[in-house]
Structure 1
């Protein structure tokens, strides 16, 4: 007999709306904290959004960040930020640093002559240092990238709103968009709170998270529409509970398998993709949560049509008034 892994039983009777106000309250508090953290702490913009020059250095010998910084003092740069990069895949003879330099020049980047001076200054401290990569972005380009990133996220959200509105009902579209906004704000809030680098790869992760979340939401909404047609006399809250329970196995399996792949990338992928992978991993978590709790709560408050089609005459539950599949069921 073949072994089949089951993360969720075939039949579940979990009352997801039992703690509805608690879950919504926690989400509202988390959104407020995320907004406050973004406004007052700000985002740690990467080179894409701030402008300047980022130099990735490597050395076969250990180095002191203080010595690097002291070597660059007095060179006329408006901002110098040096961070050492740690990665489990690095060997004992591989020491990596990220040197970000801002200038007072209109271009916002370091000139080739200044770059040579920086390399010479660092070689005096560490003769084994080499420049692996150099990235430069001007302030005008960075401002344009910020505007484009905001437009991209907004356009994706509006497109999802229109799609769900045409496919289902406007109440379901509003519920899905509220859940998506919830996911985006919490992800941005985490990056602001912990000052993780926020760059174009993070925007890509946000857009990917929107796609993952709305895919999960559409699957549940599709089953909800079928159940609303089948159980016309059942209370809406019970139909929604039944729907989430019927799709719970698919929801959990999708989230877990995606999280396993992302965790492997987070641990073994290196620092280059770490920000992107973390945003994706966090997005999978909050996206699954918002699909089950946030989107459904909004639809429950707004109400939804119940006349989408004839009920199934063979289903005894459809002939009973206000029957609940959770009557006598224990909390799981």
Structure 2
């Protein structure tokens, strides 16, 4: 007897249930996800459309990594706090980010382009609020907007190349319909994350790009697990069984795994966001939004888009050739 491939098969009771009726009874909160797919699509559009409008109207609040500015590398005589340096920036009317290292005695400050007078005012404020620093080792670098354009271009092409490779791999591993569904769900996650940052004008830096690319890879993982279960159940379809029922069954069989995974990741990211320094907040916040959106799209969007594709382009109705 051939053994089942359980490398990606969740081991929850619902996952072990063989029939659709058994899966329904395993979940006390069960409801038909697939039949309500237009609700999930509408919720996604309600979130995405304002973000797209905001991108066209007010764009993104770019940090100096994108629009240029000044970077100060300072070594203090004793440990300092990010709050003290941030207060120094605010005292002279500047915004910026602070990254501490070497036991909080070295600070990398990113802020707007500084003229000589403004630079001297900032250094004076830092000395008053944060403490003495070694002026001889002070390093100052000017960051031009060209670097930001290059960073944006590289991020864009990274997403394009990643999408193309994922499209090819999922098409080979599953089917082209699965690949299209997965890529649309990934695009949903990127638009949600970028849109929220645009709506609330949260300043972004290079870590935001890293977060978006990380979300892009994380989200497809959960989607592929669900797709794998759909493909497995599709081979066991009985005569007269609908494809919608197979997808709904598959989503619920992997629901426990999906929820446990996302909750674990969200707890870790929330800890970084609340307890980490200012330099990690943008990354952690973008990851929080992206991971939550990715969990939603994997469960409520990707497989539902697959149903729509099958419905309109084939294999979406009743099974003609199936086991009795």
TM-score range with shorter-chain normalisation?
0.7 to 0.9
- Displacement of 1:21 in angstroms is 1.5
- 2:44: which partner in 1? 27
1:155 aligns with 2:176: no
Match of 1:39 among 52, 56, 73: 56
| 2:226–2:254 CA contact under 8 A, matched in 1 | yes
CA contact (8 A) 1:122 1:129 kept: no
Question: Match of 2:112, SS?
Answer: strand
Gaps of 5+ in 2: 1-11, 15-25, 75-79, 99-104
Deviations 1:121-159 (A, max 9, x none): 546976947599866421222211111111112221222
2:107 equivalent to 1:82: no
Q: C-alpha distance in 1, partners of 2:231/2:243?
A: 11
Residues 128 and 205 of structure 1: CA distance in aligned 2, closer, same or farther (over 3 Å) = same
Cα 1:84/1:100, change in 2 over 3 Å? closer
Q: State the Cα RMSD in Å.
A: 3.6
Question: In structure 2, what is the equivalent of residue 299 of structure 1?
Answer: 306
Q: 1:176 to 1:127 in 2, by over 3 A?
A: closer
Q: Which runs of 5+ in 1 are unaligned?
A: 1-7, 70-80, 86-93, 104-109, 312-317, 320-332
The residue number in structure 1 matching 2:19 is none
CA distance in 1, matches of 2:88, 2:281: 24
State yes or no: 1:267 paired with 2:284.
no
- Secondary structure at the aligned position of 1:273 is classed as helix
Query: Could you say which residue in structure 1 is the equivalent of 2:256?
Result: 249
Q: Give the whole-Å Cα distance in 1 for the aligned partners of 2:198 and 2:164.
A: 24
Shift of 1:83: 5.9
Find the aligned partners of 1:119 and 1:225 in 2 and give their Cα distance: 61
Match of 1:53 in 2: 70
- Provide the rounded CA distance (Å) in 2 between the counterparts of 1:242 and 1:124: 63
> C-alpha distance in 2, partners of 1:133/1:223?
56
State how far apart, in whole Å, the 2-side matches of 1:152 and 1:114 are: 40
Give the structure 2 partner of residue 90 of structure 1. none
Query: Number of matched residues?
Result: 280
Is 1:68 aligned with 2:92? yes
Q: 1:286 aligns with which of 277, 280, 293?
A: 293
User: How many Å separate the matches in 1 of 2:176 and 2:130?
Assistant: 65
The two structures have a TM-score, normalised by structure 2, of 0.74
Provide the residue aligned with 2:112 in structure 1: 101
Q: How does 1:304-319 map to 2 (within 5 A)?
A: 305=315, 318-319=323-324
Question: What is the rounded CA distance, in whole Å, between the counterparts of 2:127 and 2:210 in structure 1?
Answer: 39
Q: Contact 1:14–1:245 (CA<8 Å) still a contact in 2?
A: no
Residue 262 of structure 2 aligns to a residue whose secondary structure is: helix
Instruction: Give, in whole Å, the separation in 2 of the partners of 1:254 and 1:61.
Output: 37
Greater helix percent: which structure? 2
Counterpart Cα distance in 1 of 2:237 and 2:253? 14
Secondary structure at 1:264's aligned position in 2? helix
Larger mean CA deviation between 178-187 and 255-264 belongs to 255-264
CA distance in 2, matches of 1:127, 1:219: 50
For the 8 Å contact 1:65–1:84, the answer to whether it is kept is no
